[in-house]
Amino acid sequence: MGNFLKKDLLVLLRDRTELMILLLMPILLIVILSFALRGILGGDTSYFHMDVAFVIEDDEQQGVIDFIEDLETIGMPREVIMELEQVVEEVKPYTMLEDLMNNESVSNMVTMEELEFSEAEEALENEDVTAILLIPEDFTYRSLQKMLLNEGGGSELKITVKDYSSIRTDVFVNIVNRYVNTVNFETAISQTLIDLGHGDVLSNRADGEVIETREFGGVESISAREPITSFQYYTVSMAVMFVLFVGAAIASKAYVEKKQHVFNRIILSNRHPIVYLGGKMISASVISFLQLIILFLVSTLAFRTFPLDEPAFWGGIAIIAIILAICVGGFASLLTALTVKYENDALNHIFSGGIVTLLALVGGSFFPTSEMPALIGTIGNWTPNGAALTAFLKWMQELNMTTILPYLIRIATLAAILIISSILIFPKRRSL
């Protein structure tokens, strides 16, 4: 086995094209993707800064006054009106929108500039602003009617953009949509709770009774470690993607050896065919492991992606890398078995040219699967690269082997299936 490993390593080292694909290309992609999306995964959104024109046709204070006057007009008890006045101060819709825009995470991206509509249109045409957000007339009054009394059709925010394909446009529209959806969702919950006889807002009931306020708690975010950075994410995602190319590369060498009768000479030297197959599997596993470690170390030394002084951290990384490398060895052995049996290199090109790309897409190598439909994320976690990516990220966050064990079992199970299948497919001595 040692001789086979030495042979494959020497052959690979002499193939500069393969070395560029396996080492140089992932490093370049790590740099490009990490800088292009720098800070987004870690929560630093200042790199997507945009200027937005706010056109405010609504008078918030007058809207509140009109709403209170309506309460008095319909004969609502004074005690209830006073309580609702306090609620209005907490849920004024434009004030909530302003608070959102002034939030640190949003203000790093969005700079508000209040303009007249004609000025805003001109600024948008000159690309001085990314979008126009129009707060229509009676926005406050109509929103409060809908939110607190469930009357009327509510109001709406109007966004005008010039470049629909811009990432900044997408980001801003998503911010506003999230604000609107949150307000609508909380309003629906409040109204449902009121209908059930309890809630977190005040309401006028038929008997004049005031429902007491209740607090249902808040949301607390807990994380054992710092958020994943773009350099960390793309180091891992590119590593688990490009490690799959090792399987096709090793199998392609087997095709060349078959054509040049190297394989036949090995068999004539009284070596069992399965020993040759096992050599390919071990060679692919060792080369895959070395590739993973090199990529992690280069990223760490060049960009300080991972801590060098945490043995426990690197121990977990090594365990995941070993299991993934064995799985790649299984791919290499299966591709080698098919290549030798049918004496055709087409499957290796299909694997490296199409199947790896598909696995990378559903496995999250290009962008997090959290941004994709839930079904894609589920499928991705059952692919070897997707399961490995999730295992690496969870280990980086929690340093808990129990958490990543299910993903390691999936990878190991697939590796066993691939190896057994390759042994069954690989031609026996009498059929060579």
State how far Cα 133 lies from the chain centre. 28
Are both 34 and 133 inside the same structural domain? no
How many folded domains does the chain comprise?
2
Residue 205 lies in a domain: no
> What integer pLDDT is reported at residue 178 of this predicted model?
81
pLDDT over 70, % of the chain? 81
Residue 204 lies in a domain: no
Are both 323 and 348 inside the same structural domain? yes
Q: Is pLDDT larger for residue 219 or for residue 425? A: 425
Are both 411 and 353 inside the same structural domain? yes
Are both 188 and 254 inside the same structural domain? no
Q: Which of 176, 196, 216 is the last residue of a domain?
A: 196
Are both 51 and 28 inside the same structural domain? no
Report whether pLDDT(250) > 80: yes
Are both 51 and 36 inside the same structural domain? no
pLDDT in tens, 274-317: 888 888 899 899 999 999 999 999 999 988 889 988 999 999 99
Q: Which of 142-146, 181-185, 238-242 has the highest mean pLDDT?
A: 238-242
Q: What is the mean pLDDT of the chain?
A: 80
Are both 100 and 161 inside the same structural domain? yes
Tokens of 353: 């040219």
What is the model's pTM?
0.62
Are both 390 and 250 inside the same structural domain? yes
Mean pLDDT throughout 265-273? 68
> What integer pLDDT is reported at residue 220 of this predicted model?
39
At residue 161, the 3 state secondary structure works out as strand
At residue 32, the 3 state secondary structure works out as helix
Are both 7 and 64 inside the same structural domain? no
Residue-range definition of the domain harbouring residue 153: 47-196
Question: Given pLDDT bands bounded at 50, 70 and 90, which one contains residue 206?
Answer: very low
For the ranges 251-255, 297-301, 378-382, the lowest mean pLDDT is seen at 251-255
Report whether pLDDT(409) > 60: yes
Are both 384 and 348 inside the same structural domain? yes
The vertex-302 CA angle with 299 and 305, nearest 5°, equals 50
Q: Is pLDDT larger for residue 429 or for residue 168? A: 168
Mean pLDDT throughout 356-379? 83
Tokens of 370: 């959290």
Mean pLDDT throughout 124-133? 87
Are both 185 and 248 inside the same structural domain? no
Residue 297 lies in a domain: yes
Residue 76 lies in a domain: yes
pLDDT in tens, 26-51: 988 888 887 766 655 555 555 567 88
Q: Which of 196, 211, 241 is the last residue of a domain?
A: 196
Q: Is pLDDT larger for residue 241 or for residue 127? A: 241
Q: Which of 174, 196, 218 is the last residue of a domain?
A: 196
Instruction: State the Cα–Cα distance between residues 65 and 62, nearest whole angstrom.
Output: 5
Report whether pLDDT(224) > 80: no
> What integer pLDDT is reported at residue 366 of this predicted model?
82
Output the domain CATH number for residue 155. 3.40.1710
User: For residue 69, what is the enclosing H or E element?
Assistant: helix 60-73
pLDDT in tens, 153-199: 778 888 888 766 566 777 788 888 888 887 777 677 656 644 544 44
> What integer pLDDT is reported at residue 18 of this predicted model?
76
Residue 208 lies in a domain: no
> Contact, 114 vs 56, CB < 8 A?
yes
